[in-house]
Structure 1
Amino acid sequence: MSTPPAPVLSAPSWPHCAQGADPDTDPVGCRGIHVPGHTACLAHLEDTDRDAYLAGLTPGSDVDQRGTPFTARLLQALLQALHDPATGNPHLGTARFREAQFSGEAWFGGAQFSGTARFDQAQFSGDAWFDAAEFSGDAWFGGAQFSGNAGFDEAQFSRNARFGGAQFSGTAGFDEAQFSGNAWFGGAQFSGTAWFDEAQFSGDAWFNAAQFSGDALFGGAQFSGAARFGRAQFSGDAWFDAAEFSGNAWFGGAQFSGTARFDQAQFSGDAWFNAAQFSGDAGFTRARFAVTTQFGPVVCAKEIDLSAAVFELPVTLEIAASALRCERTRWESTATLRLRYATTDLSHAVLSFPVAVTAHPAPFTPGSTVLDESLLTDHPTGVRIASAQGVDAAHLVLTDTDLTDCLFSGAFHLDQLRLEGRCTFAPTPTGLRRRHFIWPCWWTRRRTLAEEHHWRAQSVGQPAPPPGLEPSPRHWRTGPHHPDPGLTPDPEDVAALYRQLRKAFEDGKNEPGAADFYYGEMEMRRHDRTGTSRSERGLLWGYWLLSGYGLRSSRALAWLLTAMSLTVLLLMGFGLPTHDPDPATTGTLTHGRIALKTKAPDPALNGGWHQRMTWKRAEKATRVAVNSVVFRSSGQNLTTAGTYIEMASRLLEPTLLALAVLAVRGRIKR
């Protein structure tokens, strides 16, 4: 394969030196502009002519060195000729260094540029230092190439500063730089660390499509005008801690590959992050959004942290993230959180007005395009609420969220919490197990709170699953402080949570959900040894055993059938007489009058067990038992023992039937 020929550069628009030109390889040669009165550039001028030119310069003189190749020594000689004794620094008027080539260190530290400074498309092979330089006119660095480090710390740009398309291969330092006019960095490439800490942008700051391959540090920067970072690419970490955005902040379509921090940032104007992508964590801790009404949609592969952030106006947040932390976040007006994938922590959030948390069913569509969620393909799309502790739930609405591991302890007004759509809670463990290694048992399916799981896991000494593994559905889920009993809510606390949340289900006309939470409340009261007396616990044990607190119809029906079967057996064995007794009539004759008296003998039970346990007697006993269920007397002759058996069955069995009916109604009522 042949090597393609090198591109042929066109001749510059100014009269150039042409030193070293070759018709075959380099027809242009040196691009340096002619020194006035000569046909060579400053670099190729004879020494005597160069000395004469430099001697004619005075502080504040205009300098035109377009295309000139500078060594560090030549540049030093030029700046020394412009040295201002009053300030001790070089003083240039209009400075034209377009396409100039600086092969060594270029030192412009403290220099004063009274007119326009043109360094566009200049090439700095070594380090370039403009620290504390003062640019009174426009400063042009568009397309400039900084192969070494570039320092503009504390530089002052009184008018516009143009760095569009500039390439910074080393560190780019703009710490405490002051941009009084507009600052253009659109399309600039920062291969090393870009330092803009405490920089001040009085005009608009344009970083659209800029590429930051290293870290981008804007800590404490002040943006008085619009800050535009649309489609910017941050390959390293991006730090905007304590930055102040007085105008609108545009980060639409920006891509953050590392960590992005906006902690304590102040957004006085709109903050636009629509279609922004965060491959790492995104932090907005203690940030303040004064007029933002739309945040996102954004995609974050890890966690977006809005802890202690403040939203002053009604706002809609559209976030697709692995996790969302809203600890102590304050919403001073209404808010709607439309989420995808996110495990959300609302601990101690301050809700002054209604705040709705909704699981968004489909990918967000900013504009006419579908938001790319490829960063989250390994995550389930459901939205989980991790905690609502310390929240005033009177203003909270949860829609289609997963509350399996949600902690409600410490929340206020839980009875006013609104649960919309399909909100899911943790189920009881599945499968058959042995209690005390003897009795087989299983848990009936019901909605449970995470706090009940944590207490039961702690009380039975269940080990926590290995980190990173989902707990087995056959076990209770361990809590964050497992197995510390002092930090795990006890049954009295959990019962109060069930009682308040049951009211939320009832207000939502979700009677089955309310029934499950009533069951959970009774369970916690049955196990509570501090707030529930022993006699009350005994009653609850009986209520649970007979009918599952009036919510388990199968249990009540099983006991009813058991009671009826026992009644039948007892009646066959002791209650039904062997045969119905015949009444006997006796009479007496007194003074021509006859007195008759009929008396039925008491029913008698004779014969052995083989005579009592017959199908005929079973039919009679069943009739008595069935009539007892509905408070009816069968009219069957019974022994004295049978009478008491029937009385007991007429008291117990209708009660069990009523409990079964009540349980069925509790499951189907709407």
Structure 2
Amino acid sequence: MEPITPAEYALLVATEADEACDLRTSSERADPTWVPSIEAATGPTDDRKVRADYLRHLMLDQQLSIHLIGARIDGNLDLSGSHALTVNTERCVYTGNARFDRTTFTGNARFDRTTFTGDATFGRAIVTGDATFSGAVFTGKAWFSGATFTGDAWFYGATFTGDAEFYGATFTGIAGLDGVTFTGKARFGGATFTEITSFRRAWFTGDAWFSGATFTGDADFDGATFTGDAGFDGATFTRYAWFREATFTGDAWFYGATFTGDAGFDGATFTGDAGFDGATFTRGAGFDGATFTRGAGFDGATFTRGAGFDGATFTGDTRFGHSRWRVLDWSATTWKTASVVTTGLAAETVTLDQAVFEEPVQLELAAAQITMKRTRATTRLHMVVAGATVDLEDADLAEGSLIEAAPVTVPTSDGKGSVPGGGSWVPIPQLRNEHGGVDVPHGMLLHQWLGHILALLRLDRDLSTALSHAPSASVKSLKRAHIAGTTLSGMALRACTFTGADGLDKLIITGEGILTNNRGEKDKTRPWPAYGRKWWRTGRRVLHDERGLRDPHATTDATDTSGEPATTPTAPLTHRNVSATYRSLRKALEDSKDEPGAADFYYGEMETRRLAATPFSVERSLLTLYGLVSGYGLRAWRALASLVALVGVASLCFIRGDNPFIPWEWVRTTTPATTPVIDPDSVVWPLAFGAQETIALFRPAGAVGVTLVGFGVVVDIIVRILGPVLLALAVLAIRNRTKR
């Protein structure tokens, strides 16, 4: 086949001399950014035209090495097959399809700034040297499935406007795809990257699939943008995996992914669903400052070293169910505890159901709801909770665990601190520039950018709505939880259910106003004087369980935004159950030398024990009398009031028989030798005598000049016994309230 165009003649001469054929003009060579446009390359002139068939003839029939620059390759070029070729076509334009399937490129393969207007297929091709596609444009389908790059592969700034297929491709050298734009689907499923892989600032406007891909070197996706769905499920990252400042506007799936090196998602933005279910993080996992505007799932995830969620914000359900946290760090042949940092993490709902914490961790969470059903902490767990309602049903917390309340704080607009109220939960990028226009990031369409901004605004609104109503954190349920040695500091327990909880006798509760009042909360909509309170009740602290038994329709001021009905215990709640709960909590406070704090729990124990007894039984009668007379030894005023009543009754009994209104004569007086302090004929004398007899336990019966007759002797014995007993109960009550 003979050359028929000037470009083909120049190529033949250069190829036979083993030189590069450069068809650019001198001005084009002087411009390093020059790329042949499709319009210019497909124009009527033939000074750049090289027929695809002629190029194939030179490489296959003549076995020549091709190095062509600035040419237009007309027609379909088919070099597929088990051929060993040396091909370099830089800054060229392929007007038809280019097929290199199963081709072996000996040495380097250079396609820098080349434009493929048709399909470009490199399926199962092998490049023994470096492969460079920097600045290349693929307007049709790009097929690299099964290709092997034994040297470095460079795709800097390349553009794929059609689908890009890299299924099962192998990159044994550096894979440089910084700034690459994929406007179609990008599929890297099952690909293997053995050296450094870089997708920094890459743009994926279609779906991006890396399912089952293996990265044995560092994987860098910093600043990458995924406007479609991003699938990394089952991917393996054996060294660093960086997704810092990456943007995922579609769904992001990392199901079952394995990160054996550090994983960094600091500052990443997920405006779609983010799924890390079943993922394994064997080294540090960083999500500091990450933003999740929809659901975030970490169900079944495993964290074996430090995990950071410092300043992360979530809306929707944030799930950590079945996750395992083994936070360890290997240093100098010894294990040392690393940290799980969640300072500033904010979410609507955080789910930690069935999570396992195998090493000491500290979680700082701001949320509307936190569920930790069947969560297990084998060592100390420290949680700092802001605004959330925490459900610890069936949880198993190690001794020394601490759950403490913190105020809800909103980050300031500059991101340097936090203030109660005001500020913004999510940093919102500026929509307009200084010239009044809209700066749309490179590679993103205007409607995609506006959708991204709208998602961030919705996240800020949802977080403000979810957290603004929750001034303090609370515990919703401790049913069947094992909490021996756990401390609840400042956590509101007004709506907490304790049924079946284990280790309550070692539970430590601190804080003021964390339990509801037995009289109920004030309701200004109700009429004066009690505003809806049960004014006849004592003002003691009570458990929600007791209120539920006494007032089935009682409400508390605890906030529950779950929208779900209150859970019911497996077995019916009884007064015996509540009495046992009070007893355990009382013992816990007594063991910590907090006798005054235990007083209300003892009262609740006795009250529920009384209600649990059979009506009209001896036990119930005794407890009822004990409660009425002295408030179970805790109400000094009751004992004193009973003592006053006893003195009054005794005074009536000790009125002399010469009183025309008294039908009995139980006391007689004689005229004393000396003038008495109180005249026996005065109306005050019976009261003074009754008081004297009531507090005189060991004095001989009667007084000088006084004789008790008939039933008066019995009355005197009764008041001598009951009077000191009531005094002792009053002293005991005062002691119980002031003991330290």
**TM-score category (smaller protein):** 0.7 to 0.9
Aligned pair partner of 1:525 in 586, 609, 614: 609
Contact 2:470 2:559 in 1 (8 A): no
Structure 2 residue identity aligned to 1:191: T
Supply the distance in 2 between the matched residues of 1:423 and 1:324 (Cα, whole angstroms): 21
Supply the distance in 2 between the matched residues of 1:143 and 1:360 (Cα, whole angstroms): 43
- Show the counterpart of 1:249: 285
Query: Displacement, 1:236?
Result: 1.2
The 5 A counterparts of 1:390-405 are 390-405=480-495
| Distance change (3 Å), C-alpha of 1:441 and 1:243 | closer
Supply the distance in 1 between the matched residues of 2:33 and 2:668 (Cα, whole angstroms): 136
Q: Does 1:311 align with 2:357?
A: yes
Query: Displacement, 1:78?
Result: 5.0
Q: Does 1:508 align with 2:576?
A: no
The 5 A counterparts of 1:496-575 are 496-529=580-613, 534-572=617-655, 575=657
The 5 A counterparts of 1:49-88 are 59=83, 61=85, 63-68=87-92, 73-75=96-98, 77=99, 79=101
Supply the distance in 1 between the matched residues of 2:67 and 2:89 (Cα, whole angstroms): 14
Per-residue CA distance 1:547-570 (angstroms, 9 max, x = gap):
221222233333333333333344
Q: Does 1:13 align with 2:96?
A: no
Aligned pair partner of 2:125 in 87, 90, 94: 90
Q: Does 1:329 align with 2:348?
A: no
- Show the counterpart of 2:688: 623
Supply the distance in 1 between the matched residues of 2:477 and 2:586 (Cα, whole angstroms): 18
Supply the distance in 1 between the matched residues of 2:29 and 2:658 (Cα, whole angstroms): 123
Query: Displacement, 1:138?
Result: 2.3
Query: Displacement, 1:246?
Result: 2.5
Contact 1:192 1:214 in 2 (8 A): yes
Unmatched 5+ residue regions in structure 2?
1-27, 42-47, 56-65, 107-121, 329-337, 426-462, 528-533, 661-666, 671-678
Supply the distance in 2 between the matched residues of 1:282 and 1:195 (Cα, whole angstroms): 19
Where 1:398 maps in the other structure, the secondary structure is strand
Structure 2 residue identity aligned to 1:628: E
Contact 2:398 2:486 in 1 (8 A): no
Contact 1:576 1:639 in 2 (8 A): no
Structure 1 residue identity aligned to 2:610: R
Supply the distance in 2 between the matched residues of 1:479 and 1:195 (Cα, whole angstroms): 38
Contact 1:65 1:97 in 2 (8 A): no
Q: Does 1:370 align with 2:464?
A: no
Supply the distance in 1 between the matched residues of 2:375 and 2:206 (Cα, whole angstroms): 39
Supply the distance in 2 between the matched residues of 1:352 and 1:119 (Cα, whole angstroms): 52
Query: Displacement, 1:305?
Result: 2.3
Supply the distance in 2 between the matched residues of 1:555 and 1:178 (Cα, whole angstroms): 77
Normalised by the length of structure 1, the TM-score is 0.78
- Show the counterpart of 1:147: 183
Per-residue CA distance 1:323-354 (angstroms, 9 max, x = gap):
33333333232332222223223333334442
Structure 2 residue identity aligned to 1:540: L
Supply the distance in 2 between the matched residues of 1:659 and 1:69 (Cα, whole angstroms): 103
Query: Displacement, 1:188?
Result: 0.4
- Show the counterpart of 1:457: 551
Supply the distance in 2 between the matched residues of 1:634 and 1:45 (Cα, whole angstroms): 134
Per-residue CA distance 1:171-220 (angstroms, 9 max, x = gap):
11111112222211110000011001101122321111111111110111
Percent identical pairs in the alignment equals: 35
Where 1:394 maps in the other structure, the secondary structure is coil
Supply the distance in 1 between the matched residues of 2:132 and 2:684 (Cα, whole angstroms): 118
Where 1:297 maps in the other structure, the secondary structure is coil
Aligned pair partner of 2:516 in 426, 434, 440: 426
- Show the counterpart of 2:207: 171
Query: Displacement, 1:646?
Result: 4.2
The 5 A counterparts of 1:559-638 are 559-572=642-655, 575=657, 603=668, 617-631=682-696, 633-635=702-704, 637=706
Which moves more between the two structures, 258-267 or 301-310?
A: 301-310
| Distance change (3 Å), C-alpha of 1:629 and 1:309 | same
Q: Does 1:488 align with 2:569?
A: no
Structure 2 residue identity aligned to 1:452: E
Supply the distance in 2 between the matched residues of 1:294 and 1:408 (Cα, whole angstroms): 29
Contact 2:363 2:383 in 1 (8 A): yes
Contact 2:377 2:397 in 1 (8 A): yes
RMSD: 4.0
Where 1:419 maps in the other structure, the secondary structure is strand
Contact 2:408 2:471 in 1 (8 A): no
Contact 2:223 2:243 in 1 (8 A): yes
Query: Displacement, 1:239?
Result: 0.9
Structure 2 residue identity aligned to 1:659: L
- Show the counterpart of 2:153: 117
Contact 1:629 1:657 in 2 (8 A): no
Structure 1 residue identity aligned to 2:617: R
Supply the distance in 1 between the matched residues of 2:548 and 2:298 (Cα, whole angstroms): 35
Structure 2 residue identity aligned to 1:640: V
| Distance change (3 Å), C-alpha of 1:137 and 1:58 | farther
Contact 2:287 2:308 in 1 (8 A): yes
Contact 2:351 2:370 in 1 (8 A): yes
Where 1:544 maps in the other structure, the secondary structure is helix
Contact 2:519 2:535 in 1 (8 A): no
Per-residue CA distance 1:492-535 (angstroms, 9 max, x = gap):
111111112111121233222211111111111111136x9921
Where 1:562 maps in the other structure, the secondary structure is helix
Supply the distance in 1 between the matched residues of 2:556 and 2:637 (Cα, whole angstroms): 34
Supply the distance in 2 between the matched residues of 1:15 and 1:92 (Cα, whole angstroms): 26
Query: Displacement, 1:641?
Result: 5.7
Where 1:536 maps in the other structure, the secondary structure is helix
Supply the distance in 1 between the matched residues of 2:703 and 2:89 (Cα, whole angstroms): 123
Normalised by the length of structure 2, the TM-score is 0.71
| Distance change (3 Å), C-alpha of 1:124 and 1:427 | same
The 5 A counterparts of 1:281-360 are 281-290=317-326, 291=328, 292-360=338-406
Query: Displacement, 1:81?
Result: 7.0
Aligned pair partner of 1:640 in 709, 716, 721: 709
Where 1:318 maps in the other structure, the secondary structure is strand
- Show the counterpart of 1:4: none
- Show the counterpart of 1:444: 538
Supply the distance in 2 between the matched residues of 1:642 and 1:144 (Cα, whole angstroms): 109
Query: Displacement, 1:626?
Result: 2.1
Structure 2 residue identity aligned to 1:552: R
Which moves more between the two structures, 146-155 or 134-143?
A: 134-143
Structure 1 residue identity aligned to 2:567: P
Where 1:395 maps in the other structure, the secondary structure is coil
Supply the distance in 2 between the matched residues of 1:59 and 1:181 (Cα, whole angstroms): 30
Structure 2 residue identity aligned to 1:448: V
Per-residue CA distance 1:1-26 (angstroms, 9 max, x = gap):
xxxxxxxx99862775467569xxxx
Aligned pair partner of 2:312 in 262, 266, 276: 276
- Show the counterpart of 1:192: 228
Query: Displacement, 1:111?
Result: 2.9
Aligned pair partner of 1:103 in 111, 135, 139: 139
Supply the distance in 2 between the matched residues of 1:510 and 1:360 (Cα, whole angstroms): 24
Query: Displacement, 1:308?
Result: 2.5
Per-residue CA distance 1:38-80 (angstroms, 9 max, x = gap):
6643xx3355xx86xx669974545545555556x423x4558
Query: Displacement, 1:83?
Result: 10
Query: Displacement, 1:258?
Result: 1.5
Structure 2 residue identity aligned to 1:370: G
Query: Displacement, 1:145?
Result: 1.1
- Show the counterpart of 1:650: 720
User: Matched residue pairs, number?
Assistant: 591
